[in-house]
Amino acid sequence: MILPRAAAEASPVGGVDFLLDAARRFGPELAVVATGPLTNLAQAIRQDRAAMERVGHISIMGGALTVPGNRTPFAEANICDDTAAANYVMESGIPLTMVGLDVTLKTKITGREIDDWRGVNTPAAKALVKMSEYYYTNESETGEIGGAIHDPLAVEAAICPDAFEMLPCNLTVITEGPGAGRTVGDPARLSCPEKSVQVCVDVAADAFVEKFARTIHQLLCKG
Residue-wise pLDDT tens digits, 117-131: 988 988 889 999 999
Instruction: Say whether pLDDT at 19 is over 90.
Output: yes
Smallest Cα–Cα separation from 209: which of 139, 120, 143, 111?
111
Query: Is the predicted pLDDT of residue 1 greater than 70, yes or no?
Result: no
Give the pLDDT of residue 144.
76
Q: What is the pLDDT of residues 135-190, one digit of tens each?
A: 888 776 666 788 999 999 999 999 999 999 999 999 999 999 999 999 999 999 99
Cβ–Cβ under 8 Å, residues 47 and 19: no
Give per-residue pLDDT as tens, 59-118: 999 999 999 999 999 999 999 999 999 999 999 999 999 999 999 999 999 989 999 998
The dihedral sign for the CA sequence 74, 79, 81, 85: negative
Q: Residue 82: is it exposed, middle or buried by C-beta count within 10 angstroms (0-12/13-18/19+)?
A: buried
Mean pLDDT, range 36-40, rounded to an integer: 98
pTM of this prediction? Answer: 0.93
The CATH architecture assigned to 27-106+150-201 reads Alpha-Beta Complex (3.90)
Cα dist. 24→13, 20, 27, 43, 196 in Å? 15, 6, 6, 15, 21
DSSP letter string over 108-174? EEEHHHHHHHHTT-SHHHHHHHHHHHHHHHHH-SSSSSEEE--HHHHHHHHH-GGGEEEEEE-EEE-
- Residue 140 has what pLDDT? 65
Q: What residue ranges do the domains of the chain occupy?
A: 27-106+150-201
| 3-state secondary structure (DSSP) of residue 61 | strand
